[in-house]
């Protein structure tokens, strides 16, 4: 199997314990996608009672669709790392910062 190796920011923390990728407050998806045009939500979130068995891998941020974020450059995240948790009652990227 061919594999793609790229550099991307890591998900440094995830407080969404009901997500299938969350194990011990870490995201174990290969990569997550953040948001839509306005909402910095975690598009990779899915609720599941079982959790990922791949506990060694830490997720990266594969894409960011929130063009209003200062960390967004050509739909790629440029933050050092991101944290995911509840904000405004939604599951959001807590690293989101509006462009000035």
Q: Domain range holding 67?
A: 10-93
Answer whether 92's CB lies under 8 Å from 84's CB: yes
The pLDDT, as a whole number, for residue 4 is 84
Q: How does pLDDT run across 35-92, given as a tens digit for each residue?
A: 988 899 999 999 998 887 777 788 999 999 999 999 999 999 999 999 999 998 999 9
Residue 100 inside a domain? The answer is no
Residue 4 inside a domain? The answer is no
> In the chain, how many domains are there?
1
Give a three-class secondary structure readout of 52-89: CCCCCCCCEEEEECCCCECCEECCEECCCEEEEEEECC
Q: Which residue in this structure is represented by tokens 């948790």?
A: 85
The pLDDT, as a whole number, for residue 50 is 84
Residue 99 inside a domain? The answer is no
The pLDDT of 11-22, averaged and rounded, is 95
Residue 5 inside a domain? The answer is no
Residue 98 inside a domain? The answer is no
């Amino acid at each position: 199997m061919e594999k793609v190796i790229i550099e991307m920011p890591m998900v440094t923390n995830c407080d969404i314990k009901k997500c299938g990728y969350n194990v011990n407050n870490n995201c174990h998806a290969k990569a997550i996608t953040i948001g839509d045009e306005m909402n910095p939500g975690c598009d990779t979130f899915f609720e599941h009672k079982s959790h990922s068995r791949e506990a060694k891998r830490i997720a990266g941020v594969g894409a960011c669709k929130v063009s209003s974020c200062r960390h967004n450059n050509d739909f790629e995240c440029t933050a050092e790392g991101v944290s995911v948790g509840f904000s405004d009652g939604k599951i959001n990227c807590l690293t989101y910062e509006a462009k000035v």
